[in-house]
Amino acid sequence: MVFLTLSCWIRNRGPDRFWKVQELLKHARHFRGRKNRCYKLAVLAVRRAFVYATKSRKLKKRNMRTLWITRIAAATREHNMKYPILMHNLNKCSVQLNRRVISDIAITEPRTFLSLAKLARARQQEGFRAALGDGKEPSGVLSRVMLQ
Amino acid sequence: MSSFSRSAQQWATFARSWFLIDARMQPPGKIATMCSVRLQGKHKPIYHALSDCGDHVVVINTKHIAFSGNKWEQKVYSSHTGFPGGFKQVTAAQLHLKDPKAIVRLAVYGMLPRNLHRRTMMQRLHIFPEDELPDDIRANLTEELPQPREIPRKLSEYTQEEIDAFPRLWIPPEDYKMK
């Protein structure tokens, strides 16, 4: 007896399963345990990792901003001032530096940061004088507060 | 942040300083906020939660701490031994008598972030009930921080001239009986 249909039962499903599996496992190589080797476990772990990555793109922006704010607050407290005072008065002086740039300045350019702090302090005093005073500027000083 | 120039590299940026705080006649909460800010490193512009930039803080004279209001009798510190019926509640005055360092230590512990760094930061906090410091800690101190509260002077600390120079707010009538 010869089995003639035996050769028809052999199916070649596809030549590149190995490479498709490797494409997924390459994203799991730095995981802990069997998730970095076994396909069934790696599929779930890699999907979860990608979901976390998409959600964290928004979180990263929030976290970076809070970090910048913490750093600017620390630097202003070194100059006997507080963060909200600095930002409000820089805003009123129409200094449009964002928090990223100001925190970089605070770390690498301390004297520039000191000048920003002094500018904010001067604008604050002008605001107090405008609010409490009689509407006239002190002699010899021209400020935008009164002109606005 | 990719354009740091080599010329301005400050080598002592990540050095750990030792701060000294005198807690005589100060509210322990204010002392604790100052301590927790410096233990976390939040007083530095290079702060990052992962970069271990906290400093050491030494608090002296914690035996002479001064709560405001009636907190010595009203503030309650609770704990549980883990055994049934082991819920203990002690007032601040009783706790202070038992251990003069406990109030400041618990205050700072509660103000630090609730993560695994908290225990390391508490290791860097050194509390002493009186003025005496060990010599190795005294050798490490770099800066003393100003006290948060201005201590009011007692009547006996005013000179007679200052008492006389103070304006009289009210003149009692002749038949007024002073207690």
ipTM of the complex: 0.87
Range of the domain at A25: 20-130
State the nearest Cα–Cα gap between A122 and chain B, in angstroms.
23
CA distances from B124 to B17, B60, B116, B119 (A): 11, 14, 14, 9
CB contact under 8 A, A78 and B43: yes
Q: Which chain A residues have any C-beta within 8 angstroms of a chain B C-beta?
A: 67, 70-75, 77-78, 103-104, 106-108
Which of B1, B4, B42 shows the shortest C-beta gap to A70? B42
Residue ranges of domains in chain B = 9-163
Which residue of B14, B19, B38, B46 is the best one to mutate when testing the A interface, meaning the one whose CB has the most A CBs within 10 A? B46
Identify all chain B residues contacting A78, using CB atoms and an 8 Å cutoff. Answer: 43, 45
Look at residue A88 and tell me if it is in a domain: yes
CB contact under 8 A, B45 and A72: yes
pTM for this predicted structure:
0.86
Look at residue A135 and tell me if it is in a domain: no
Identify all chain A residues contacting B48, using CB atoms and an 8 Å cutoff. Answer: 67
Identify all chain A residues contacting B45, using CB atoms and an 8 Å cutoff. Answer: 71-72, 74-75, 78, 103, 106-107
CB contact under 8 A, A70 and B8: no
d(CA B105, CA B36): 11
Residue A53 neighbours by CB distance under 10 Å = 10
How many distinct structural domains can be found in chain A? 1
Report the pLDDT value the prediction gives residue B4, as an integer from 0 to 100.
Answer: 62
Among chain A residues, CA nearest to B6: A108
Mean pLDDT by 10 residues, chain A (148 residues): 84 89 96 96 98 98 97 96 96 94 94 96 91 72 59
Which tokens hold the place of A35?
């998730």
Look at residue A140 and tell me if it is in a domain: no
Contacts of B11-14 with CB under 8 Å at 24 or more apart are B13/B46, B14/B46, B14/B51, B14/B53
CA distances from B19 to B54, B99, B124, B150 (A): 11, 23, 11, 19
Report the pLDDT value the prediction gives residue A145, as an integer from 0 to 100.
Answer: 60
Residue A48's CATH number: 1.10.1900.20
d(CA A104, CA A141): 32
d(CA A52, CA A31): 14
d(CA B58, CA A21): 58
State the nearest Cα–Cα gap between A140 and chain B, in angstroms.
37
Do B39 and B145 touch, CB atoms closer than 8 A? Answer: no
Do A92 and A123 touch, CB atoms closer than 8 A? Answer: yes
Calculate the CA B137 to chain-centre distance: 18
d(CA B179, CA B169): 18
Which of B1, B43, B46 shows the shortest C-beta gap to A77? B43
Look at residue A10 and tell me if it is in a domain: no
Among chain A residues, CA nearest to B9: A108
Which residue of B2, B14, B37, B44 is the best one to mutate when testing the A interface, meaning the one whose CB has the most A CBs within 10 A? B44
**Taking Cα atoms as reference points, which of B120, B133, B123, B121 lies closest to residue B59?**
B133
**Taking Cα atoms as reference points, which of B157, B125, B134, B130 lies closest to residue B23?**
B130
Residue A73 neighbours by CB distance under 10 Å = 21
| Sequence-ordered strand ranges (E) for chain B | 18-22, 56-60, 76-80, 87-91, 125-127, 143-144
Mean pLDDT rounded to a whole number for chain B = 94
pLDDT digit string, tens, across residues B39-80 = 999 999 999 999 999 999 999 999 999 999 999 999 999 999
Pick B9-163's CATH classification: 3.90.1180.10, 1.10.275.10, 3.30.1320.10, 3.30.565.10: 3.90.1180.10
